[in-house]
Chains A and B, each alone.
Chain A
């Protein structure tokens, strides 16, 4: 049954090609894309269950054996992330069907969307560093097309910042791969794990690790290199921001988790750097979000802020902390996608993203506001909502490390700042009376949409909200899953044995 590893990839590639064939028929593309993502969701669930039962699965593409060939590895981390990708993909695909304008649809929005999901699935599954780079390239190119699609001036401005810094990060990543290959003569991650541990010159290993940290750090929007994110994520339509905010930065986190648990593990210096960067990311992201008036821009800064939690968890590098990272990934991917879709819906309802001009949401749409509130407050991490649980792990593990006081301070600061920011936004957008704003002439308001499109916009938001609630109330189940994942990550012998077939 090892073939199941490739099914998520094959599925997305298939639907990318089918939607390319239907270039001119955007209505068909919508229907087929939603169906395709539904199939992807089923595949992801079967995949997760298979890995849960049978342990780590491997697959040698082209029948070339590891460590020379490219191996696809389905461990629990990959399976979990693929499930999350498919959930997000399904939600955004449906949301786009309702909200995306005709211009963007007729220039290949859906094919590119499927190529992006293909790249994400491939990156999560691959067991080869260079192959990981190739998937990253695929994701950058697809996301660059998505961010420029429509060709508005502010979009292009954001896209240039996005593309320059991400390509720069790729160059650093590629350099790091070259150095690593020079040191060990291997690209297979399991093989690298064994070989890097044998290198005597630890200084070289640390430098290489730092290169990886910088490369992935830029992609994950970690502290000194996050400026591209708030400059670009608010420019495309909400559906695109949702997939970017939910999945793309988390891809950087995934790559960091993978490399720093499998290849560069137990290096004191690197863990300290990661911890410091994590704390500063939390701090600066929260401060950035504080001064924003545009709600999507505010959420962009909150992405950065919350990346900090995961980076701290990675730096702590204990089993419980890594489990916290996994739990936070599960929570963050779902909730971040949802808040971007929600801000898109607010935009459709009121015609503006500006908090000053918004208001009176609660009075006018009480039920909708309640649904939105669930996502907002699980972002803060108010118990029993989903964001609360992983933070316990981070704080309790911080207590055990030296200098953990600073970490706890950073974590609490981030949490309370998020609380303040969300509460302020709630007061401004939902409670305040609506200020007088001119009705925009050529703008398609929510009420002018067809009923089908309205449903297509509401259903994914409600669906993701239900999943958020399930994560919050079923926290024990998710924690069990996270512990299994972190067990596999910390005891990397399982992974290595599975890949190298020992």
Chain B
């Protein structure tokens, strides 16, 4: 889709959509949202970019192969699930920092678990879409 409107717009939409996906990720603890849907929205941002500018440009933008993002996300989730074991709590227990961090707020191991899901979903979705559009 080689239109100048979309191409120009996609340059602005990419950071906006990514910001929105992070917003959705963070709000997911108590409200609808979370890592899965956040990751999908982030993937949409890159897919839109690929539609407007061509797949090669987007690949250059991401730099690493999206397949490599998957194990990274899994590892983040896995490690955050292991953290409670250090303080003698069962696997996957939510461990929370005692004091809230300014601006960001309360941080706990569940946030990193969700972050891992976000990264994994982003990686999986991009891998699938890139592979299909390469084959087409």
Contacts and interface: CB of A to CB of B under 8 A. Distances in A.
A60 B70 CA distance: 28
B82 A62 contact: no
A17 B78 contact: yes
Nearest to B75: A17
Contact of A10 (B68, B70, B91): B91
A20 B92 CA distance: 22
B100 interface: no
B94 interface: yes
Contact of B89 (A13, A16, A63): A63
B68 A61 contact: no
B92 A17 contact: no
A163 interface: no
Interface string B71-101: 1101100100010110001111110000000
Interface residues of B, number: 17
A479 B80 CA distance: 42
B78 A23 contact: no
Most buried by A among B70, B91, B92: B91
A108 to B, nearest CB: 9
Nearest to B92: A62
Nearest to A19: B71
Given A20-B71, A23-B67, A14 B78 contact: yes
A61 B71 contact: no
Interface of B: prevailing SS: helix
B90 A62 contact: yes
B74 A62 contact: no
A63 B72 CA distance: 26
A60 B90 contact: yes
A63 B74 CA distance: 22
Contacts of B94: 62
Nearest to A21: B71
Contacts of A59: 90-91
Given A14-B78, A17-B78, A23 B68 contact: yes
A6 B94 CA distance: 17
A61 B92 contact: yes
Contacts of B72: 21
A62 to B, nearest CB: 4
Interface string A1-23: 00100100010011011001101
A21 B85 CA distance: 24
Contacts, number: 36
B74 A17 contact: yes
A148 to B, nearest CB: 15
B10 to A, nearest CB: 30
Given A20-B70, A20-B71, A13 B78 contact: yes
Contacts of A21: 71-72, 75
A155 to B, nearest CB: 19
B71 to A, nearest CB: 4
Contacts of A17: 71, 74-75, 78
Contact of B93 (A13, A16, A63): A63
Contacts of B82: 10
Given A3-B85, A23-B67, A62 B93 contact: yes
A38 to B, nearest CB: 21
A128 B116 CA distance: 25
Given A3-B85, A10-B82, A61 B90 contact: yes
Contacts of A63: 84, 89-90, 93
Interface in A293-334: none
A6 B78 contact: no
Contacts of A20: 70-71, 74
Interface in A250-292: none
A63 B67 CA distance: 33
B105 to A, nearest CB: 21
A6 B74 contact: no
Contacts of B74: 16-17, 20
A455 B70 CA distance: 34
A20 B72 CA distance: 9
Interface string A24-68: 000000000000000000000000000000000001111100000
A10 B89 CA distance: 15
A21 B123 CA distance: 13
Given A21-B72, A62-B93, 7 more contacts: A10-B91, A13-B78, A17-B78, A23-B71, A62-B90, A62-B91, A62-B92
Q: Which 4 A-B pairs have the closest CB atoms?
A: A20-B71, A63-B93, A62-B92, A21-B71
27 contacts: A6-B91, A10-B82, A14-B78, A16-B74, A17-B74, A17-B78, A20-B70, A20-B71, A20-B74, A21-B71, A21-B75, A23-B67, A23-B68, A23-B71, A59-B90, A59-B91, A60-B90, A61-B90, A61-B91, A61-B92, A62-B91, A62-B92, A62-B93, A62-B94, A63-B84, A63-B90, A63-B93
